[in-house]
Structure 1
Amino acid sequence: MSGIYIHIPFCKQACFYCDFHFSTSLKKKEAMLLAFIKEIEIRKSELGDKIVETIYFGGGTPSVLNKDEIELLINAVYNNFKVVANPEITLEANPDDLSEEKIIALSKSPINRLSIGIQSFFERDLKLMNRAHNSIEAKNCLSVAIRHFKNISVDLIYGIPDCSNKEWRENIQTALSFGISHISSYALTVEPKTALETLIAKGKIKKVSEKKAQEQFYILMEELEKAGFIHYELSNFGKEGLFSKNNSSYWLGKSYLGIGPSAHSFDGKQRSWNVRNNTQYIKSIQENNLPIERETLSKTDNYNEYIMTGLRTIWGVSLAKIKSNYGEKYLHYLKNQSQKYIDEKLLEIVVTTNGVEKLTTTKRGKFLCDGIASDLFMLNSI
């Protein structure tokens, strides 16, 4: 099984914290759509006999597209790839785009999952992040969406400078009150060359506190566990049977094809990525050239990626898989490197019901997961 990711590189306005590739001008939208279709056609053989089980519209802001434009792209996927009978088809959307009319139209399209970028229900937080929607729009769009979609995910951001722990709990409870089945939640991160970095440097926005982010991460785990959600990946929580199939495929090492400027792809052996420029992307595709760079992963690269993705998920890192795929030396190295974190109760080795030993993060270790994983990386090939 495989997945298709389509990067829609347009936004109405720039969020201060965002470092994804996008443009606030929609002038090239029509040319971009045609380029997407052409790239899909050019790359139709790349997945081989693999069947597509997920189609994901990310961005940017995919909800700037209308129903007909979305269906045009979905049809292009169906015309060029084998697709399962009932694929998961997700659209990332912002509340200001989700009028009742738009939601109803989307519900009549092949889209069967919405990922809505709420981020916060507090006006102060939304203004600090320069979000295009307000709190009323956030609540109104959810009230309508839950009547037309069974599978809805909400994005929330923690660690916002002026958001207290009490308000953070309120954010979580407000999201839960709509009966949604999935929450993706991320710490507010100061990325280089973003407006947020500049505003903090100028003293116009308070510095982001890692201590507060850690506190609110543990509050998030506590509240969602009580609500019956499964913490299946570091930033993702879902009800049983409603995990994101698209995101899970990345963490489980499945292949996927990324369409559009800046989109990444993976075939199990190579990673590739398209040029991060709308004009160059369109021009190149029009000339039947893929504006793409490729990197072949070594055994050590694959090992490091498995450690990173495995520790982020409930599936953990299988010690048997390390031995069979990478050999005894890698397994010995992993056990040695992880022992100090096991002693500190940040990692643990658990045995599954079918007798497989796996290395996983403990609740205490989850917030520190990425740092721990990097310490387990193999720096030189054996």
Structure 2
Amino acid sequence: MSGIYIHIPFCKQACHYCDFHFSTSLKKREFMVDALCRELVLRREEQEDEIQTIYFGGGTPSLLTSEELNQIFNTLKNNFKISANPEITLEANPDDLSVEKVRELAQSPVNRLSIGIQSFFEEDLKLMNRAHNAHEALESISVAKGHFDNFSIDLIYGIPGMSEERWLENLDQALDLEVPHLSCYALTVEPKTALKAFIDKGVVPPVDDNAAQRHHTILLEKTEQSGYENYEFSNFGKPGYFSRNNMAYWHGKSYLGIGPSAHSYDGNYRSWNVANNSKYINSIMAGELPYEREKLTVKDKYNEYVMTRLRTAGGISVTEVEALFGFKYREYLLQQAEIHMSNHLLFRDQDTIGVSKKGKFLSDGIAADLFLVNLDF
């Protein structure tokens, strides 16, 4: 299974917590779309397998016009083998999803929306400097449901000042609206973001990890009661609505990343494009690929396997670790996992090592303890 990720590096305004690559100037949008299409042509031989998923991320892909999207889709169709039933997801901001816009998207090859709600409360949206308001958050879901069966919303917990009651109200709102898929993330404070500066200056209270963990516990309980499966740490889906793009990523499938700052992975190499719009456009239009590339060592592959699989409901297969990396890696994994099993943060069920409910919020730290860092086999 192979996928293509297309990064649309434009936003109307900068969210205070975001450290993704984007520009709030849309002046080069036309040139950017031409460059995206040109990169697809230049790299078509890198992805010869049938394409099962296409994901438009950003930035804000919903800023693209129907003409710009069609230009990209035509390039994809003419240069890649697209499966008969691909999952094609487009990230969208609520303020972009007018009835007319959603109707246009529904008539395009896009068959799944990922809507950046983040919160249904005005105070949260203002703190994060989101471009939409609470009314638009609700309205966008109502409009999307009229044209898309398959869609997801993003919600953020652990926001400074967010009580457990407010987080529960956010979840209840999403469940009342019968959203088939939720992606829920703890707010993180990234360097060089406006949020980091506000916290350092005392304008915004610091993020409380204990509060975020309580929110996460509420999230697990509420979604389980409502029939969602937590198939990956941050993702919750009703049966039949798991994201194929997410599943492929967390199971180590190859993908081609197009656009400035986009990453690619083929199982042996990882590459990433320059995170600068002008440099990206100029290089691509000159026929040059502006990326850096690294060959993954066995140690790199093992660590990535542990990191990605441990986040999934399926967990880590001990047999697969031995088959892919060798007996010594299998023994190292079991040795490192032992203390977390004794603390009931990990469990072993026959061939599988997984994260318990108690350990889920700590899963990234647990994964790091299973990494091979200072040893070589």
Which TM bucket (shorter chain)? over 0.9
Provide the rounded CA distance (Å) in 2 between the counterparts of 1:68 and 1:360.
Answer: 46
Kindly report which structure 2 residues correspond to 1:226-241, keeping only aligned pairs within 5 A, or say none. Answer: 226-241=225-240
Match of 2:14 in 1: 14
Provide the rounded CA distance (Å) in 1 between the counterparts of 2:75 and 2:216.
Answer: 40
Match of 2:24 in 1: 24
Task: Look up the SS of the partner of 2:177 in the other structure.
Answer: coil
Provide the rounded CA distance (Å) in 1 between the counterparts of 2:300 and 2:376.
Answer: 9
Q: What letter is aligned with 2:356?
A: T
Match of 2:353 in 1: 359
Gaps of 5+ in 1: 352-356
Q: What letter is aligned with 1:88?
A: E
Q: Deviation per CA, 1:211-231, whole angstroms, max 9, x where unpaired?
A: 000000110111111110000
Provide the rounded CA distance (Å) in 2 between the counterparts of 1:204 and 1:14.
Answer: 18
Detail structure 1 runs of 4+ shifted over 3 Å in the superposition.
none
Match of 2:362 in 1: 368
Match of 1:253 in 2: 252
Kindly report which structure 2 residues correspond to 1:187-206, keeping only aligned pairs within 5 A, or say none. Answer: 187-206=186-205
Q: Is the 8 A contact 1:146 1:178 kept in 2?
A: no
Kindly report which structure 2 residues correspond to 1:93-172, keeping only aligned pairs within 5 A, or say none. Answer: 93-172=92-171
Provide the rounded CA distance (Å) in 1 between the counterparts of 2:69 and 2:228.
Answer: 30
Shift of 1:47: 1.3
Q: Deviation per CA, 1:263-295, whole angstroms, max 9, x where unpaired?
A: 000011000000000000000001100001101
Task: Look up the SS of the partner of 1:85 in the other structure.
Answer: strand
Provide the rounded CA distance (Å) in 1 between the counterparts of 2:235 and 2:73.
Answer: 26
Provide the rounded CA distance (Å) in 2 between the counterparts of 1:59 and 1:117.
Answer: 11
Shift of 1:37: 0.5
Q: Deviation per CA, 1:94-119, whole angstroms, max 9, x where unpaired?
A: 00100111111111111100000000
**Identity among equivalent pairs (%):** 57
Shift of 1:177: 1.4
Shift of 1:381: 2.3
Kindly report which structure 2 residues correspond to 1:237-316, keeping only aligned pairs within 5 A, or say none. Answer: 237-316=236-315
Task: Look up the SS of the partner of 2:16 in the other structure.
Answer: coil
Match of 1:354 in 2: none
Count residues in correspondence: 376
Provide the rounded CA distance (Å) in 1 between the counterparts of 2:100 and 2:209.
Answer: 41
Q: What letter is aligned with 1:220?
A: L
Normalising by structure 2, we get a TM-score of 0.99
Provide the rounded CA distance (Å) in 2 between the counterparts of 1:76 and 1:240.
Answer: 33
Match of 2:33 in 1: 33
Normalising by structure 1, we get a TM-score of 0.98
Task: Look up the SS of the partner of 1:211 in the other structure.
Answer: helix
Q: Is the 8 A contact 1:7 1:59 kept in 2?
A: yes
Gaps of 5+ in 2: none
Q: Deviation per CA, 1:323-357, whole angstroms, max 9, x where unpaired?
A: 11111111111111000000000001113xxxxx1
Match of 1:43 in 2: 43
Provide the rounded CA distance (Å) in 2 between the counterparts of 1:249 and 1:279.
Answer: 31
Q: Is the 8 A contact 1:123 1:134 kept in 2?
A: yes
Shift of 1:201: 0.7
